[in-house]
Amino acid sequence: MNARSRPRISCPARGLEGATAGRALGALGGAAVGKPWPEGGLRGGGFTLLELVVLVATVAVLVSVLLSSLARAEHKAQDLRCLNNLKQLGVALRMFADEHQDRLPEAEPLPALPIDPAHRLPRLCDLLAPHLGYLTNAMPTTHTVLRCPSDKAHRFEHNGSSYEWNALYSGRPIEHPRRSRNPPREAPLIFDYDNVHTGATNDSKNVLFADFHVDTL
């Protein structure tokens, strides 16, 4: 038998390799057009819907906590500024008394609604202005110790001050303003018109007492 007439014998192993390679290429082609990988196969880098929901919820909680902390810090800063305002008003009261026979001023507690409209008393802000470095005909309207940063009722605009003068002590001796034997440290001289500060069930007021310490009530 010559070479030309010899029959061709196929190789089963080579055919098996071709079929296996074909199936592998088919799987890759399926993944390329968006078909899912077989179970246990490789996974893409995206998030599942459940993971996205958990992520968004976590970020929302963190943002809420951060905003709450910032709000508390802002309120605390406003409270401290108000207490500092009252301390400076206490210094101005002492300076006023030094020039007026050691007497406290006689002023309207609420200038917008005077006690006796026919005989108005001066506003406390006008009496203390020279001792605060202010001109009565050019009073500051924004940055001033007469304005509480928590004054949302516009008391400053209506009365010249965010702080109420206790008319019970008008004209009284600065060292002994009370008519009773109770100590001066319990006598409130100047305080917020409204409960505008945090820290109590119904909020609170900052107060300057007759011994010139300040506190929150």
Please give the Cα distance from 16 to 34 (Å, whole number): 28
Q: Give the domain ranges of the chain.
A: 78-216
Whether pLDDT at 209 is above 60: yes
Reported as a single tens digit per residue, the pLDDT across 194-208 is 998 876 566 899 999
Q: What angle do CA 106, 139, 147 make, to 5 degrees?
A: 75
Output the pLDDT for position 82: 96
Angstrom CA distances, 159 to 64, 126, 140, 146, 180, stand at 38, 11, 13, 10, 30
Please give the Cα distance from 158 to 152 (Å, whole number): 12
Reported as a single tens digit per residue, the pLDDT across 45-90 is 677 888 888 888 888 888 888 877 776 777 788 899 999 999 999 9
Reported as a single tens digit per residue, the pLDDT across 170-188 is 999 999 999 888 889 999 9
Against a cut of 0.75, is the pTM above it?
A: no
**Whose structure tokens read 């919820």?**
57
Please give the Cα distance from 206 to 90 (Å, whole number): 13
Please give the Cα distance from 106 to 100 (Å, whole number): 11
Q: If pLDDT is split at 50, 70 and 90, which confidence band does 91 have?
A: very high
**Whose structure tokens read 């192993």?**
13
Averaged pLDDT for residues 33-41? 48
Please give the Cα distance from 132 to 161 (Å, whole number): 13
